[in-house]
Structure 1
Amino acid sequence: MKCSIVIPVYRSAEILPELLRQLNSELEKLGLRNDSELILLNDASPDKSWETLRALTFQHDNLKALNLAKNFGQHNAIMAGLRVATGDFVVLMDDDLQHSPAYIGKLIQSLEKADVCFVRFEKRQHEGWKIVGSNFNNLLASYLVSKPKDLYLSSFKAFRKHIRDAIAQYEGPYPYIDGLILRSTNRIQVIDAVHHERYSGKGNYNLARSVSLLMKMATGFSVAPLRLAIFVGVAFGVISFLLVVYVVFEKIVNPNVQPGWTSIVAIILAVSGVQMLFLGLIGEYIGRLYLNSNKKPQYVIREIAGFQKSEKEISNGI
């Protein structure tokens, strides 16, 4: 059985040597060192990550490195890695050693009875806003992509080859890995693990990236927001009808009552705001459809290192 470990890399030049050392040490313990491939993807990191990766390919014969032409984002980089992965099972993890390689064996073992296994962290070593944002995204995922409520989505996970094949078929420019997993299988397990502090430097995720992930999930893998727009429209229609009935009734009962212009303006502004919100949402759907039909690439590979000449040619995502 061959194991593929796919890791997107960004601002991790100082961490990479230790990451590779721990990965291969753990694979050696599991007896998988000679049946493994480490696929690391530099997502146009502004530091020396690519130079470090390229040098490490001479020290680790199971390392395959890809350098993307620009920053396409974590999920797009993962798609590039999945398309070159050849393992019977695939492990996805972060590059900062907050995901310990020591859990790889337990993840793989869990795949004996499941197609996918997620790692759940009881206590996460993140800033407070990121924990809140992650919990919020997980909550919305239950409604947007039919995530089981007892399942916690994390970037540390493993899955079988047929799931990798299903994910790799997706050609849209805005992939969302967990959404692709959830629409491919319901045989999912979870293991608990300790979340470590970042080995070096500061985390790369910020509020903008969290919002971007939410938009991918909402507009790329669900029509729930559009259904919500219909519900809100009907609700406002009912409220408007009741208000008209109330105004007419009050005018009949008390002809001298003066119209409440302030409340009318407030209602108009509220309705207009909701309309603009959902028009923007519909525009986002249409824009993504246009970019998809326009063949916007998921990623573009500038350079590769560590690949053998006998291996198939690496193509860019389309």
Structure 2
Amino acid sequence: MDDPVYSVVIPVFNSTVTLPRLVDRLEAVFTEMGVGHEVIFVDDCSPNIETWAILKELTATHQQVHCVRLARNFGKAGAVLCGMSHISGQFVITIDDDLQHAPEDIPILVAECQHDVVIGAFQNKKKHSVLQIFTSWVKRRFEVLIFGDLKGVKMSPYKLFKAAVVENMLKVATPHPFIPALMLYATRDVVQVEITHHPRQHGQSGFNIRRRIRQFSNLLFGNSWLVLKAMAYLGFSIALLSFVYGGWLILSNLIYGRAVPGWTSLMVATLILGGFILFSLGIIGEYLIRIIEGVEKRPPFLVGETAW
């Protein structure tokens, strides 16, 4: 098979019935466009044994389909990077496996392929729970704080990359990848196009609160010293206030002869400061763990099995 123009990377976790339909719809889109493509599924060590069985069957029946199964669950970002490391196309498209992203919207992204990255953002609002809306809002605020505000651009899993950008993203060695951070490290030439969000047709999303917390921690601890700086500023402020308050107590005793009564206030202050110190040590510990993992050169993914 000739080298494809487009490589479609799809992270998979426990999906089954949507996978054959996704392959058929992708094939129809690229046939209409008149260009070659490949589809790279990355199974993030799904507990559902049917997932890998279906992927291998698709590989056997479709020449353009390739599959990789990770040795253990590394998370969505690790699965995406794994797929990116196997691409051979000039452009890379990332899309979810649940058909909430319509393959028929790919030409909309391709129309802006002169840019390094094209993000497909939803023109219609998704129906999410209050918790999902709140956590997404918090994540968005921190993304702006850490990376800066890309005017008119919102992050989405549906993206088109130039292969050169993907190559530069893969050069960053981190055991806790965060795709938007890697993308913005490689380029700032990012644009957004509007696409349609479709409801999930089968099953429930595997992106639960635990996975959201892990993704947010990768954003916060893996791509910024923001928390350490905040702890430093807070610690300095508390120390300054403590010195001012201590000075006032000394002067009050010397000038007015006022003794400072009460063990209660002393214990409260001690507990507050002790709690702050322990919390700060926990933050430092999180950074140290990630530094150690980086020094050990732990990869963001390990391949367990392939079907090519």
Tell me if both proteins adopt one fold, taking TM over 0.5 as the criterion. yes
Aligned to 1:184: 186
Query: Shift of the alpha carbon at 1:58?
Result: 2.5
Matched, 1:3 2:6: yes
Aligned to 1:12: 15
Query: Shift of the alpha carbon at 1:63?
Result: 0.6
Query: Shift of the alpha carbon at 1:303?
Result: 1.6
Aligned to 1:41: 42
Aligned to 1:269: 271
Paired residue secondary structure (2:88): coil
What letter is aligned with 1:304?
Answer: T
What letter is aligned with 1:189?
Answer: V
Q: After superposition, what is the alpha-carbon deviation per residue over 1:212-243, rounded to whole angstroms, capped at 9, x for unaligned?
A: 11111122111222221221111111221222
Match of residue 229, structure 1, among 228, 231, 236: 231
- Supply the distance in 2 between the matched residues of 1:185 and 1:297 (Cα, whole angstroms): 23
Paired residue secondary structure (2:61): coil
- Tell me if structure 2 keeps the 8 A contact 1:124–1:131: no
Matched, 1:29 2:32: yes
Query: Shift of the alpha carbon at 1:180?
Result: 0.5
Indicate the percent of aligned positions where both proteins have the same amino acid.
Answer: 29
> Considering only aligned residues, what root-mean-square deviation do their CA atoms show, in Å?
1.9
Aligned residues: 303
1:113-262 mapped onto 2 (5 Å cutoff):
114-121=115-122, 122-148=124-150, 150-251=152-253, 255-256=257-258, 258-262=260-264
Query: Shift of the alpha carbon at 1:124?
Result: 1.6
- Tell me if structure 2 keeps the 8 A contact 1:130–1:206: no
Query: Shift of the alpha carbon at 1:107?
Result: 1.0
**Which aligned runs of 4 or more in structure 1 are off by greater than 4 angstroms?**
none
What letter is aligned with 1:297?
Answer: P
- Supply the distance in 2 between the matched residues of 1:128 and 1:21 (Cα, whole angstroms): 35
Distance 1:17 1:271, change over 3 A: same
Query: Shift of the alpha carbon at 1:170?
Result: 2.2
Distance 1:60 1:131, change over 3 A: farther
- Tell me if structure 1 keeps the 8 A contact 2:249–2:260: no
Aligned to 1:315: none
- Supply the distance in 1 between the matched residues of 2:305 and 2:212 (Cα, whole angstroms): 28
Q: After superposition, what is the alpha-carbon deviation per residue over 1:124-145, rounded to whole angstroms, capped at 9, x for unaligned?
A: 2333312221221111111223
Distance 1:264 1:193, change over 3 A: farther
What letter is aligned with 2:241?
Answer: I
Paired residue secondary structure (2:14): coil
Query: Shift of the alpha carbon at 1:149?
Result: 6.0
Paired residue secondary structure (1:303): strand
- Tell me if structure 1 keeps the 8 A contact 2:15–2:98: yes
What letter is aligned with 1:111?
Answer: C
Structure 2: 5+ residue runs without aligned partners? none
- Supply the distance in 1 between the matched residues of 2:29 and 2:191 (Cα, whole angstroms): 22
Structure 1: 5+ residue runs without aligned partners? 308-318
Query: Shift of the alpha carbon at 1:258?
Result: 4.5
